[in-house]
Amino acid sequence: MEFLRELITTGRIVDIVLVVMTVELLISTLVAKRRGIAIDLTGLAFNIGAGGSLALALRASLTGEGWQWIAGWLVCSLVFHVLDVGRRWQQSRG
């Protein structure tokens, strides 16, 4: 349990999550290229940006950073989310 406590209190758990997200993005891109599948890299980047920003807000909170850092990361996440939703609305209109 000490290992888990340290992972969380130091924010390293978020670092692991960010590495996994990056690997997921790279693997998804490589698999899509190999199979000749077109993927929306911009939409994927917006989605990963929103999730990554939320993870960084969590890390800031876990490590005792000031509220300004937490708020900043939350605003970044909101911007990525709005861009993602806007892009999806445009695509659904044709």
| Summary count for the chain: helices (H), strands (E) | 4, 0
Work out how many domains the chain is built from and give that number. 1
Note the pLDDT of residue 93: 85
Q: Is there a contact between 68 and 57 (Cβ–Cβ < 8 Å)?
A: no
Query: Over the Cα atoms of the chain, what is R_g?
Result: 16
Residue 42 has pLDDT above 90, yes or no: no
d(CA 92, CA 77): 22
pLDDT of residue 11: 95
Q: What percent of the chain has pLDDT over 70?
A: 99
Q: Which residues contact 43 (CB under 8 A, 6 or more apart)?
A: 84, 87, 88
Q: Which domain holds residue 59?
A: 2-93
- Judged against a pLDDT cut of 90, whether residue 40 lies above it is answered with no
